[in-house]
Chain A
């Protein structure tokens, strides 16, 4: 941009400060000279700096910030001035009368005022009544206290008195007075014109430019006579934000889409479940370590739920002796007490169990493919690594003739849609699947296998009991938060649900 174009592109604020720019100067002086507020002048300077016309430096400046009391003193006069005025009028003033003449903002200045009067050399006498008093003598020269000048100076600078050799005594006088001001350090902004800046000040574009195209100009045609100020179209503008979904919900929607694309039907159900559905129906023995208090949220009120009687009998039998499933069962005494306890579901597999039962009731289709992306609970203390509520992603396929090889096939199809280039399985263990497998996916960035989920074929103890006949059910699932945490490079898992509005506005989209 040449100098002419540069001059033409100036913003009105820049235009306002331009005639007042010195080779070097302070922001405060510039603001004053151009009749702008300091923030406006600062904005103009920053824009000019962006164009290479000035350099801005920040210095620390020591000074006195004048308090409310100090401001009052400036307006109403200092305490000693009030007292001297009274003394001059009455010719004599007892010490005990001094407080009556003090200004309302500083009733406690008696001691200080006595000091000032003595220093001025006003005679200290005893009245006829025997009271100590000051006497007025015309010959005594009344000096103006240095604070007065200082306060006057500060009043022009938004109640700030910089400490310089010239103001030192005034500042000290103000600081000596209790509560008039406070010694502080402040940032002082200075600018200096660059070569280009100097050239710009000499250029002086006298043309008038129009800021905005208006409705009126368009209507009456005056736009034809106007020149519009060229903008600096390359600089950044303030950010604005769109309304948006919570990023975890974005991820949930996109994962649901994968299942739907694969022809799966969504399973839904309650978060509050009985231990019967959540665990017993899935052949988790009642003394399984995971069922203990510390892992599971149990409800205090209502503490118990009801369970379907016919199914209860079958589940009890299968735990105790395998029932008609060909299994030995867990071989222990099954407890109804334990079964009816209300809890917050520990896994979404409870939804799969209920879907299998729905098949036996003719309420769900077989063959069928079902999925859920839903919340599960684990009784943990919240910290950077642990959440007590999180999402589980789970799918099942129910059809005659399915095999372990088909499970492998589905895992590849699903995880490749999830964006993983390779998947492998290792032996694993879940109480409700056999065979069971851990699922690893290939992390292309770190070049290593990462454990991501679990899978297996439901045990006959589960399927035969719930569906009524033994049909293979392929199942796999994974936790969702870990993937999201990795994607967004969050260190602290709680950041997923911190609901910091800045984060929610600015975090990138789930792609």
Chain B
């Protein structure tokens, strides 16, 4: 989950309140963010992914200000018309079809502010922007740009500009190959015939989106006072929300927002769109969900503490609150404003009879029997190496494979338990013998008759390891188990490559025998092993 770092001094100034660390801690965690820590002047907060509007100092302070009652209700932002245009060419429709843009003036950018702006942009890129795939953000100092601005798809070779952090002009292909950001985000434009670029009125390339800005027109620095902001992507609504989060944060720094006319092949519209969204409040629903009996007035007051407006039965949802989808979301905000700690608790009567999983209960009995024989239960992972299940066991099976395991040596699901037991024995060579172990666990077998193509079964495997452990010894354990469970089944000679020929049998669904010396050597074992394995369900009547 994303975290942001805030200066405590700056936050308290924005809040206009004197709070102790304890109070600050309490407010922050009760607002619905996770406080990671306060160290001297630095506060680290974890923001849940449903609240990207909290990813900036300004957005965070805005929410906290309302929550502690300093400034309740909807915060309104005025948007002036700039009269300027952004012209979106049909060539972007195949590469990055939409954008939302705005101008923000009267910014007083100092070192601290610059850091904040970079943080907002980065955090939004990673979270709300899904690593720039869903939304990419560009911020440019206005002073170097001539209007109108064009959003155009250009052939990679026709693109030429000096990207940020580079000493010379590069074309689109070079940027993807040589620029660090180009390499990092190349996958987002891979296979496209044209790359989306912003150009200014003088036809200078301002950026190759979603990758990098131009050094000449796209570098915000201290002393920048006015900026052009764009978000580009594939879903107009997402981009409008993203832009709203940024420009309201910039406005909270003291900036003034101006709108732009966007001429898109699908129609002309004006952004940013900061008008609050209206949603009817279903008070009965919220009360029922929370077990409350709030009046409309009380509910409206609580919503005000979460930064919502309220007007004649409707909740006014700020443009930057992207998470309100349903009455349930309003109910949660009411509960947060009320205070989770203050909500009374009660235990209802829901009369039910408890029931354990019957197969689980049955394996409990099996455990008791085996423990009675002095066996130790082991517990291995369901993931295991492919080779351990197949070649090392001298067995032919095609196990269920994992496509993308990050842990080396764990690339498939186990199809039987015996390899896990031999692994365990191999890891315990330093300890005293004999070693008598068992495991109860799931195995995974390909089976096209199931919905996933995989059948899962609970298995039991027992292994006796040490000088003199043999067929008789393991057979005594299986016989004892079968008789405890009142199962009668004949033993039949069989062939199995993992066992010594002539010393392996089946008993019902069980396979039992002395493990082949070549298998033991494959696992690095220097002691004989006698073992059996069976599906637990086969023992149930």
Contact = CB atoms under 8 A, between A and B. Distances in A.
Interface in A246-289: 246, 248-249, 253, 256, 259-266, 268, 270-274, 287-289
B345 A243 contact: no
Given A266-B356, A332-B235, A342-B452, A302 B326 contact: no
Interface stretch (A10-18, A34-42, A59-67, A292-300): A292-300
A399 B349 CA distance: 10
Contacts of A263: 350-354
A428 B454 contact: no
A408 B431 contact: no
Contact of B407 (A264, A382, A413, A427): A382
B29 A426 contact: yes
Contacts of B123: none
Nearest to A505: B376
Contacts of A381: 406-407
Interface in B418-455: 424, 427-428, 431, 435-437, 442, 444, 446, 448, 450-454
Interface string B356-369: 11011000100100
B350 A272 contact: no
Interface residues of A, number: 102
Interface stretch (B68-76, B209-217, B396-404): B396-404
A302 B380 contact: no
Contacts of B329: 434
B372 A243 contact: yes
Contact of B340 (A289, A294, A301, A437): A437
Given A429-B48, A501-B437, A301 B348 contact: no
Contacts of A245: 367, 371, 377
Interface stretch (B140-148, B187-195, B286-294): B286-294
Contacts of A274: 451-452
Contacts of B332: 427, 434-436
A404 B325 contact: no
A346 to B, nearest CB: 13
A303 interface: yes
A264 B348 CA distance: 14
Contact of A380 (B32, B352, B380, B406): B406
A20 interface: no
Nearest to A373: B360
B170 to A, nearest CB: 30
A168 B406 CA distance: 62
A405 B378 contact: no
Contact of A429 (B32, B353, B364, B453): B32
Contacts of A397: 350
Nearest to A342: B452
A77 interface: no
A120 to B, nearest CB: 51
A402 interface: yes
Interface string B27-56: 001111010000000000000111100000
A300 B403 contact: yes
B460 interface: no
A453 interface: no
A322 B32 contact: no
B183 interface: no
Contacts of B325: 322, 327-330, 461
Given A342-B452, A435-B335, A505-B376, A259 B354 contact: yes
B326 A404 contact: no
Contact of B31 (A368, A427, A461, A504): A427
A434 B328 CA distance: 6
A425 interface: yes
A409 interface: yes
B376 A244 contact: yes
A427 B347 contact: no
Contacts of A294: 404, 406
A297 B404 contact: yes
A322 B400 contact: no
A459 B328 contact: yes
A287 B431 contact: no
Interface string A230-254: 0000000000011111101100010
B335 A265 contact: no
Contacts of A158: none
Contacts of B451: 274, 305-307
B416 to A, nearest CB: 16
B352 A406 contact: no
B352 A369 contact: yes
Interface string A389-425: 1000000010101111110111111000000000011
Contact of A264 (B291, B354, B359): B354
B404 A271 contact: no
A399 B348 contact: yes
A322 B456 contact: no
Interface in B289-338: 289-291, 325-329, 331-332, 335-336
B381 A388 contact: yes
Contact of A246 (B29, B379, B454, B456): B379
Nearest to B452: A305
A379 B403 CA distance: 11
A299 B355 CA distance: 32
Contacts of A297: 383, 402-405
A330 B341 CA distance: 30
Contacts of B20: none
Interface in A43-71: none
Nearest to B378: A499
Contacts of A246: 376-379
Given A242-B371, A365-B352, A424-B341, A497 B379 contact: yes
Nearest to B332: A435
B402 A300 contact: yes
A300 B437 CA distance: 32
Contacts of B379: 246, 248-249, 497, 499
A380 to B, nearest CB: 6
B237 interface: yes
A326 interface: yes
Nearest to A371: B354
B354 A265 contact: yes
Contacts of A92: none
A502 interface: yes
Contact of A272 (B328, B359, B454): B454
Contact of B357 (A241, A266, A270): A266
B245 interface: no
Contacts of B490: none
A405 B352 contact: no
A472 interface: yes
Contact of B32 (A306, A408, A428): A428
A389 B401 contact: no
Contact of A406 (B133, B346, B359): B346
Nearest to B406: A381
Contact of B374 (A243, A271, A368, A403): A243
Nearest to B379: A246
B356 A375 contact: no
Contacts of B343: 404-405, 408
B382 interface: yes
27 contacts: A246-B376, A263-B352, A268-B359, A297-B383, A297-B405, A299-B452, A302-B453, A304-B453, A305-B453, A375-B382, A375-B442, A381-B406, A389-B383, A405-B290, A405-B345, A409-B346, A411-B345, A424-B341, A427-B29, A427-B336, A428-B48, A429-B50, A429-B51, A434-B328, A434-B329, A437-B340, A497-B380
Closest 3 CB pairs between A and B?
Answer: A403-B291, A427-B32, A302-B453
Interface of B: 29-32, 34, 48-51, 127, 130, 133-134, 235, 237, 288-291, 325-329, 331-332, 335-336, 340-341, 343-348, 350-357, 359-360, 364, 367, 370-383, 400-407, 410, 413, 424, 427-428, 431, 435-437, 442, 444, 446, 448, 450-454, 456
Given A329-B325, A408-B344, A424-B341, 7 more contacts: A242-B374, A274-B451, A406-B345, A426-B30, A427-B332, A459-B328, A499-B424
